[in-house]
Structure 1
Amino acid sequence: MSATHPTILVVNAGSSSVKVSVYAVPEAAHANADINPVLSAHGQIEGIGVSPRLSASMADGRIVADERFPVAQVADHDAAFRLIRLVLSIGLRDAPPVAIGHRVVHGGADFSAAVKIDDDVITKLEALIPLAPLHQPHNLTAIRAVRAAVPALLQVACFDTAFHAGHDPLAQLLALPYEYFERGIRRYGFHGLSYEYIARRLQQIAPDLAQGRVIVAHLGNGASLCAMRDGRSVESTMGLTALDGLPMGTRCGAIDAGAILWLSQQGMSTKDIETMLYQESGLKGLSGVSSDMRALLASDAPRARLAIDFYAYRAAQEIGKLAATLGGLDALVFTAGIGANSPPVREKICARLADLFGISLDAGANNENRQRISRDNSRVPVLVLPTDEEGMIALNTARIMMEHHARA
């Protein structure tokens, strides 16, 4: 890694993992030039508190670490973050980071873009923990760990909700008494960092499509859809929390509120209901086999097949709804772990959309995860674009870093 360029870290703290990436930021040729952070190294710890595994590598593929640890040694996110920071510091001796960018899942009504983190920002993010209980506490844990270790280091919060901040009020409303909307109880949308990256990438490879009506399917352990017009989000399947919309790995997706009332009336506590909706539902709950789509596709269990079919049914159904919002559909893009890597799931979803949108997949292209997987005669082109949330965080962090230095 060259010491001639500033270095930033990107931290993506999930419910059971911590990912840290190292980026070098080349100096821009002039004030209005594009900033293009370059990935130098990446490390992650998965299975925190269950089966911790640390892996780290340089951008050239050189392995820095690949090791499993006893649960007691990496029992929580604090321990995980300290360990991964220690490993990556080997590659940072000549270029200590000048800023750290954090993925923060919920920005609420206060944050429509990435911001420098200070005490006021942290206080506002803490108030949003009930709206993102699987993610927000871990995002804040990483922020506090850095503040304790390097208090003067610039930290930037990059929000999964920010890309959707310009939605029309009709797309934000819930049909509750209006006073709750004024108190911030509204549909926000999530996976915004992924969608922001895809919008930027689509502009690079197919600017004609990017300017049209596009639906992006971010399908992974967390799953949602975003309707875009001219590269801007106009609607999303997720709402107030990351529970809404599509069924996910362990989350239920859209559910009749009456079902929640019934569970409560049967004596389930709020905490037990929360645990079930966030951690025991979705593909895991329906299949009784796994939350991992790969395991379900490999399984012969009837309920595994049922879970996959329901997943595809709901995705196709929501694509239709978003197309109605857009007034048509000019392109469909699949991304994230399942979207970019699971041909059978894409095939099932597109088969349900064939008559409505004239979608026709090229089986060979789909099986090979090519960039375009639809036939030439498909009325709506279908693309597969891997996402890069960490790269988007690096870009937003670099922009704020340059603004910060310009004011200093």
Structure 2
Amino acid sequence: MTDASATDAILAINAGSSSLKFALYEAESLALLCRGGVSGLGAAARLEISGPLALTGAPPDCDHAGAVAWLLDALRRVPGLAVRAAGHRVVHGGRDFSAPVRIDDAVLARLDRLVPLAPAHQPLNLAGLRAVAEVWPGLPQIACFDTAFHRGQPRLAQLFPIPRALSDEGLLRYGFHGLSYEHIATVLPEVAGPRAEGRVIVAHLGHGASLCALRNRRSIASTMGLTALDGLMMGTRSGSVDPGLVLHLIGERGLSPGAVADLLNARSGLLGVSGISDDMRVLQDSDDPRAAEALDLFAYRAVREAGSLVAALGGLDALVFTAGIGENAPRMRATIASNLAAFGVALDPARNAGGERCISRAGSRVAVYVVPANEELPIARAVVHCFAEATSRG
């Protein structure tokens, strides 16, 4: 607090493909002041907000930069509020950034070079950084990376079986959704007790989806790799495919690399297999057999990848579901869990249907939990930590 009348606050920004999510925290206690999002960017912008702090006005129909400008203007109009810094989710930090970093022109230029590895996310993340710099020059900004949580994985978990020179140049398995996994790792002791330090798989199941194996609450393996296209089947992303399929599409079908990228990123996954929708709610409500097959394949891929992580962990003590599908699709949770019964997973149907925190059956060898995702709180913590470190260094 700078004075008795002002509330120092940290702003966390998470720029998505057509939305801007944000949260505002009190700087000392990290108490939530408000959380919200502007969706429908580029079309009809819509604001959703909750928390004790009210923002006046509504965002215009705008792009990400316009949404950031509206948000900062709205925060400036709140009496007694002093935003001291902004933290941003940045999807790819590459091998150079294994921890949050304060943004300057040099850092921004290095992050620009990673755009080809995360073309659907990185440009929007960096657009948010640039928009804040333009609207509020001088406001300190911290970039927090989805890849950073996984950078301590064993070397073998990071390597592709490709020529060593390419690995040495940074073509590695990085893993993503790290801010979500960091939040789960932080709250796991209060959720799971002693099991938190054991062998845990976290299933971040949303429009983008991945799994992460934790031991002692640290990442030891994950299903995503160099890019966020690897691993599980997702809303519109294919997940893992035979590299020969890519070569076939280019060499035999005559597709350009750009067309293949579009096919695998935007026209595959639930949307591609069903031919109906990328929304699990729509597919679960459909009686079309193509919808059922898409859902079955989504679960199959999750179970198969989970089995590989059980092998990497040497067993399983707990399974955590998080993110939009993980939190809100009990039928999918039940399908995945039933196919992991060989590892000791047993759900309680009533607990699962009721969305309780612990949804495993009493006596289940593996405890199963549902934990809400929160990517903004780790960002706020990182901002506070960065400035505390800077202060301690003088």
For normalisation by structure 2, the TM-score amounts to: 0.95
Q: Distance in 2 between matches of 1:205 and 1:175?
A: 37
After superposition, where does 1:214-363 map in structure 2 within 5 Å? 214-265=200-251, 266-354=253-341, 356-363=342-349
Residue equivalent to 1:37: 30
After superposition, where does 1:9-408 map in structure 2 within 5 Å? 9-26=11-28, 36-57=29-50, 59-60=51-52, 64=56, 73-74=61-62, 76-91=63-78, 93-265=79-251, 266-354=253-341, 356-407=342-393
Matched residue type, 1:323: V
Structure 2 contact 9–26 (Cα < 8 Å) conserved: yes
Q: Distance in 2 between matches of 1:245 and 1:3?
A: 50
Q: C-alpha displacement at 1:302, in angstroms?
A: 1.1
Q: What CA deviation, in whole Å up to 9, does each residue of 1:151-183 have, x standing for no partner?
A: 321110111000100111111111111111011
Q: Distance in 1 between matches of 2:6 and 2:27?
A: 9
Q: Distance in 2 between matches of 1:66 and 1:115?
A: 32
Q: What CA deviation, in whole Å up to 9, does each residue of 1:360-397 have, x standing for no partner?
A: 11111000110110111211111111121101111111
Q: Distance in 2 between matches of 1:194 and 1:387?
A: 6
Structure 1 contact 55–65 (Cα < 8 Å) conserved: no
Where structure 1 has 5 or more consecutive residues not aligned to the other structure, the ranges are 27-35
Q: C-alpha displacement at 1:207, in angstroms?
A: 3.2
Q: C-alpha displacement at 1:353, in angstroms?
A: 0.8
Cα distance change, pair 359–192 in 1 and its aligned pair in 2 (3 A):
same
Q: Distance in 1 between matches of 2:300 and 2:317?
A: 21
Cα distance change, pair 269–80 in 1 and its aligned pair in 2 (3 A):
farther
Matched residue type, 1:6: D
Matched residue type, 2:26: A
Matched residue type, 1:94: G
Matched residue type, 2:212: C
Q: C-alpha displacement at 1:47, in angstroms?
A: 2.0
Matched residue type, 2:105: D
Q: C-alpha displacement at 1:407, in angstroms?
A: 4.3
Where structure 2 has 5 or more consecutive residues not aligned to the other structure, the ranges are none
Matched residue type, 1:171: A
Runs of 4+ residues over 6 Å off in structure 1: none
SS at match of 2:83: coil
Q: Distance in 2 between matches of 1:269 and 1:85?
A: 41
Q: C-alpha displacement at 1:405, in angstroms?
A: 3.9
In the comparison of the two structures, how many residue pairs are matched?
A: 391
Q: Distance in 1 between matches of 2:6 and 2:392?
A: 18
For normalisation by structure 1, the TM-score amounts to: 0.92
Q: C-alpha displacement at 1:269, in angstroms?
A: 1.8
Matched residue type, 1:192: G
Q: Distance in 2 between matches of 1:61 and 1:295?
A: 34
SS at match of 1:350: helix
Q: Distance in 2 between matches of 1:331 and 1:82?
A: 43
SS at match of 2:254: coil
Q: Cα RMSD between the aligned structures?
A: 1.8
Q: What CA deviation, in whole Å up to 9, does each residue of 1:255-289 have, x standing for no partner?
A: 11111111112221222221221111111111111
Q: Distance in 1 between matches of 2:149 and 2:233?
A: 22
Structure 1 contact 196–392 (Cα < 8 Å) conserved: yes
Q: Distance in 2 between matches of 1:294 and 1:64?
A: 32
Q: Distance in 1 between matches of 2:23 and 2:5?
A: 17
Matched residue type, 2:52: D
Matched residue type, 1:37: L
Structure 2 contact 33–53 (Cα < 8 Å) conserved: no
SS at match of 2:172: coil
Cα distance change, pair 50–252 in 1 and its aligned pair in 2 (3 A):
farther
Cα distance change, pair 337–150 in 1 and its aligned pair in 2 (3 A):
same
Structure 1, 2-11 or 241-250: larger mean CA deviation: 2-11
Cα distance change, pair 155–63 in 1 and its aligned pair in 2 (3 A):
closer
